[in-house]
Amino acid sequence: MFKLLHTFIAVYETLSFSKAAEQLFSSQPSLSLHIKQLEERLNTQLFIRNGKAKLEPTPNATRLYQSTTKILKEWQTIQTDISDNPKKYDLLFACSQTSAHTFVPQLLSQLPPAIYNEYNLAAEVHNSKEILDDVLNHRLAFGIVEKPVHHNLIITEKIKTDQLVLAGNLKSDTWLLREEGSGVYHYTKKYLNSHNIVPKNSIIIKNNQLIVDLLKQGVGKSIVSLDAIDDTIKFQDLGVPFFRHFYLIYQKFETHPSITNFIDKIKKAI
For the stretch 124-179, pLDDT in tens is 999 999 999 899 888 899 999 988 889 988 999 999 999 999 999 999 999 999 99
Res. 80: pLDDT tops 90: no
- The residues, ordered by sequence, that sit 6+ positions from 163 with a Cβ below 8 Å of its Cβ are 225, 226, 227, 242, 243, 244
Rounded Cα distance, 205 and 242, in Å: 21
Query: Tell me, what's the pLDDT at 120?
Result: 92
Res. 73: pLDDT tops 80: no
**Number of alpha carbons in the 13 Å side-chain half-sphere of residue 251:** 24
The pTM score is 0.69
Query: Tell me, what's the pLDDT at 18?
Result: 86
- 37-64: pLDDT as tens digits: 999 999 999 998 876 667 889 999 988 9
Domains in the chain, start-ordered, CATH in brackets? 2-81 (1.10.10.10), 89-158+245-269 (3.40.190.10), 161-243 (3.40.190.10)
